[in-house]
Amino acid sequence: MSKRDFLAITDLTRDEILRLFDLSGRMKAGAYRETPLAGKTLAMIFAKSSTRTRVSFEVGTYQLGGQALFLSSRDIQIGRGEPIPDTARVLSRYVDGIMIRTFDHGEVEQLARHATVPVINGLTDLSHPCQVLADLFTVREALGGWEGKRIAWVGDGNNMANSWIEAAEVLGFELRLACPEGYEPNRRIFDRAKAAGACVSIAEVPEEAIEGVQVVNTDVWASMGQEEEAEARRNAFRGYTVDAELMKLADPKAIFLHCLPAHRGEEVATEVIDGPQSRVWDEAENRLHVQKALLATLMG
């Protein structure tokens, strides 16, 4: 059987996502005791910082009976210019799967093309599919599913927004984004989703996107690698803070999600992220359960 990679939400079908979530649910409930990764190793390459992704993949691999290797791209030879294809070929001789977090999405695709073991996207400048899987699982847990639901994305049209658009394409819920001009999501991903019949739209102001939605999502205004733009972005995103006032426009039972880390007082007000509608800690926990299901599926 040929290996499967997970580079984008669109690499999975709707049925595969549902099966993955059933397994994640069993794992979260403690009803799964198997060790499909016994004797196996996951290499984790990080060119950017991480708390959740690193720890959840490392702990998850261990809980499934395997071991995870943390490889900072500064310390392995990639940092000195060893080509990605050579790294892919060599790692494939040692390990059973590779998770990578880096800047250029093309590098992850190149790694996947040349590796003979599954490759998992742990975040690029283009997308963050592992996080959005955990977010979808959190929506299912809190609201029973996403069918017929309206979901809002308020803020930067970044990697997270792009993966949410792909999720709307695969799963068919309504996604309403509100992004300032010049900070829209990836055009190719957006157009492809539209062409595939996805119900995705970009509103001019957050108030319009958030009206009556059941899920409100946001993320930092300056992602990793954009630190020098932070000041300009703070100006561009004025009026995009998800605060109690804005949350009032959503469905009264709406939940708030944020992939974390968060900047309180910028993209989200303290009263919202630390308030009763927030599900951010469940969301962070669910990274572990969903990725374990993913690892068991791809590497087990």
116 touching ligand CP, by CB under 6 A = no
Single residue of 10, 24, 92, 131 touching ligand CP by CB under 6 A: 131
Single residue of 10, 17, 23, 52 touching ligand CP by CB under 6 A: 52
50 touching ligand CP, by CB under 6 A = yes
Residue number, 185 or 300, with CB nearest to ligand NVA:
185
Part in contact with ligand CP (CB under 6 A); list of ranges 3-11, 28-36, 48-56, 266-274: 48-56
**Taking CB under 6 A as the criterion, which residues in 209-268 touch ligand CP?**
259-260
Residue number, 146 or 164, with CB nearest to ligand NVA:
164
142 binds, among ligand CP, ligand NVA, none (CB under 5 to 8 A by kind): none
101 has catalytic annotation: yes
Three-state SS annotation for the chain: CCCCCECCHHHCCHHHHHHHHHHHHHHHCCCCCCCCCCCCEEEEEECCCCCHHHHHHHHHHHHCCCEEEEEECCCCHHHHCCCHHHHHHHHHHHCCEEEEECCCHHHHHHHHHHCCCCEEECCCCCCCHHHHHHHHHHHHHHHCCCCCCEEEEECCCCHHHHHHHHHHHHHCCEEEEECCCCCCCCHHHHHHHHHCCCEEEEECCHHHHHCCCCEEEECCCCCCCCHHHHHHHHHHCCCCCECHHHHCCCCCCCEEEECCCCCECCCECHHHHCCCCECHHHHHHHHHHHHHHHHHHHHC
For residue 121, the minimal CB distance to ligand NVA (Å) is 12
Part in contact with ligand CP (CB under 6 A); list of ranges 44-52, 169-177, 186-194, 243-251: 44-52
Pairwise CA distance, residues 265 & 9, whole Å: 30
Residue number, 40 or 52, with CB nearest to ligand CP:
52
Residue number, 58 or 208, with CB nearest to ligand CP:
58
For residue 253, the minimal CB distance to ligand CP (Å) is 25
**Residues annotated as catalytic (active site), given as ranges:** 101, 128, 131, 219, 259, 287
Please report, as ranges, the residues that interact with ligand CP according to CB under 6 A: 50-53, 123, 131, 259-260
Please report, as ranges, the residues that interact with ligand NVA according to CB under 6 A: 123, 128, 158-160, 219-220, 223-224, 259
